Structure 1
Amino acid sequence: PLAVAQILDALAELDADSTVEVIVIARGGGSLEDLLPFSDEALLRAVVAARTPVVSAIGHEQDTPLLDFVADARASTPTDAAKRVVPDVAEQAAGVDALRGRARRVLVHRLDLETRRLADLRGRPVLAAPLREIEHREQGVEALRTRSRRCVAHAVDVAERDLVHAAARMRALSPAATLERGYALIQKLDGQVVRSPADVAGGEMLAVRVAGGSFAARAQAAGATGAGAGEGGAGEGDSE
């Protein structure tokens, strides 16, 4: 019944001592009733308020008083607490050496891995002979340029042939081609085309257009004969 008060006094005394680095609250195994003081609310609040780190080492592994949940560290037994607070120097040194050796092996393995990876990269053709890829690309560009020239030249040839054919058709359908075959285009002075002798009055001045050029002519009166200014292929009023 006096355990809680005694533990509180001891805890306050140790916490006030600046030379104390850690406080261990420990007890060996016991019944549930024997361990109840270590779940007391006043003790739990005092442990939380303590400035010095507190280690809980109550009973055995299966014992879990509430002190275990508020202490800075929990030990399964008082012996475990002693090992945690004052570890074996040789054991800790061996652990540090083991960690150092493990870190060295990991680092060496990583360096070996990166070295092999770098060697693989340097052995690739693109890095072993970087100009070879550029030359290959250059050949591809030259092939495309040659192909484009052929395509453009072919397109120009086809367009040129089409243009020649179109020009020939236009010349065949042109009125000038009809004039070149010997026909004449007769017009009045106002530009009206003469299509019938009835359209022309006797003595009327006409404009005659042939393949070689144009000249003026005078229409003969109806029934007139002989060679006059109206002769020369235009007397019959031929037109396109």
Structure 2
Amino acid sequence: MALDTSPEQPAPVRQIANAIAGWIDRLGAVWVEGQIAQISRRPGMSTVFMTLRDSVADISIQVTAPRHVIDGLATPLIEGASVVVNAKPSYYANRGTLSLYAREIRPVGLGALLARLEQRRQLLAAEGLFAGELKRRLPFLPTTIGLITAASSAAERDVLENVRRRWPGAVFRTIHAPMQGTRCVPDVVDALDRLDRDPEVDVIVIARGGGSVEDLLPFSDETLVRAVHRATTAVVSAIGHEPDTPLLDLVADLRASTPTDAAKRIVPDVGEELVLVEAARARARGTLLRLVDGEQARLDQIRSRPAMADPRTQIEGRLDELHHLRDRARRVTQHRLDRAGDQVHALRLQARALSPLETLKRGYAVAVDAAGHLVSAGTAEPGDEIMIRVADGRLWAQTTRAEADPLPTDPQADPHSEEDTDE
């Protein structure tokens, strides 16, 4: 119902805004199809702001949705996704803006397809098929390169020409298979198994040119993904262009953005390698020359020493030192011998002084009987045969008389000797 207003009795802005809000609020929820043109998630807010654009006309409308509705989607909502939104129109009177309050969001068309692919990716990732530690390093120079691609395709030509341009001696083992359609997955899996069993194949390349998301669907098939995961040979995925990311890229050991990029990644460039080899040879040659020059300088230094110029000088110096040491040893030895001789002579004199013979030389004599016992005046009897030992020989005699001298008294041994003397 129109408001009753006039130039004399205009309605205030708040009345008009509230009236519009009331009219729009009486509208029920509607299903709206469009494309997400912009999405904004503000930190700390429970509401997500989006712009929904018509897929044909240049018309757009603001959409707000609770954060849990957006987070509950099977696949993350991104700009450009086609969706169907169940929303109720809402008018914000304070700012005079119209928006749709979304209660449910469903991806449609390509969006639904991407949602299913995202769900499959999450399930396979949870199983560990895309783990980084499972990725194998490609050989530096593969003996034989296995190639799976469509017959007479641009992808096959790009891989073969670029590989042979980089490394002319590269050997290929190519198996043709359809790169789209119902036969794509079984034929590619069969070709992969055949090349994986070949002991001469060091790396396998699966190559296809660009295409729509629907055309690249076989390369996100779970059967093909699991076959690549089981393969024991390194697998390179070269599907589509840079923006294309089928699940094969995630499970492969190496993802190439294009078939041409795959050719650059699987073999080295012969020209670059020759430059590196020449640089390595130059470094080795320089190192060897520096080593030889250093050794030659050390050899020249050794040869310039006086000992090497005239080796006899060292011998003569050592010979003089030897003569000096020999003379010194002789003097020390002679000195020690002289001292030892003096000591022997002194000991000899001491021994002679203690000898009984020296006592006899001083006029003493020793008398023994026939049995060799010492004869004393107290034991000798007249007529006994005795032998008298003197300094210069022996005398045999016969006793005629024996007189014993009284024993001398020891003053120290007799305590009464001093008293007797005094008396």
TM range, smaller chain = 0.5 to 0.7
Deviation at 1:154, TM superposition (A): 2.1
Q: Is the 8 A contact 1:186 1:206 kept in 2?
A: yes
Q: Equivalent of 2:250, from 65, 79, 91? A: 65
In structure 2, the partner of 1:48 is 232
Structure 1 CA distance for aligned equivalents of residues 237 and 292 of structure 2: 45
Structure 1 CA distance for aligned equivalents of residues 352 and 194 of structure 2: 127
Closer, same or farther: CA 87–171 of 1 in aligned 2, 3 Å = closer
Deviation at 1:165, TM superposition (A): 0.7
The alignment-based identity, stated in percent, is 39
Question: How many matched pairs?
Answer: 209
Higher helix share: 1
Q: Is the 8 A contact 1:28 1:77 kept in 2?
A: no
Closer, same or farther: CA 41–142 of 1 in aligned 2, 3 Å = farther
TM value normalised by structure 1: 0.65
- Matched residue type, 2:232: V
The 3-state SS of whatever aligns with 1:199 is coil
Closer, same or farther: CA 158–80 of 1 in aligned 2, 3 Å = farther
In structure 2, the partner of 1:8 is 189
Deviation at 1:186, TM superposition (A): 1.7
Closer, same or farther: CA 84–106 of 1 in aligned 2, 3 Å = farther
Closer, same or farther: CA 98–192 of 1 in aligned 2, 3 Å = closer
- Matched residue type, 2:281: R
The 3-state SS of whatever aligns with 1:217 is strand
Map of 1:13-92 to 2, 5 A cutoff?
Answer: 23-26=204-207, 36-37=220-221, 40-45=225-230, 47-48=231-232, 55-57=236-238, 65-68=250-253, 74=254, 76-78=256-258, 79-84=260-265, 88-92=269-273
- Matched residue type, 1:218: Q
In structure 1, the partner of 2:370 is 189
The 3-state SS of whatever aligns with 1:40 is helix
Q: Is the 8 A contact 1:188 1:207 kept in 2?
A: yes
Map of 1:84-233 to 2, 5 A cutoff?
Answer: 84=265, 88-124=269-305, 126-195=307-376, 197-221=377-401
RMSD of aligned Cα (Å): 4.2
CA deviations 1:169-196 (Å, max 9, x no partner) are 111111111111122222222222223x
Structure 2 CA distance for aligned equivalents of residues 218 and 143 of structure 1: 72
The 3-state SS of whatever aligns with 1:214 is strand
Deviation at 1:127, TM superposition (A): 4.0
Structure 2 residue runs of 5 or longer lacking an equivalent are 1-180, 406-423
The 3-state SS of whatever aligns with 1:207 is strand
Q: Is the 8 A contact 2:238 2:256 kept in 1?
A: yes
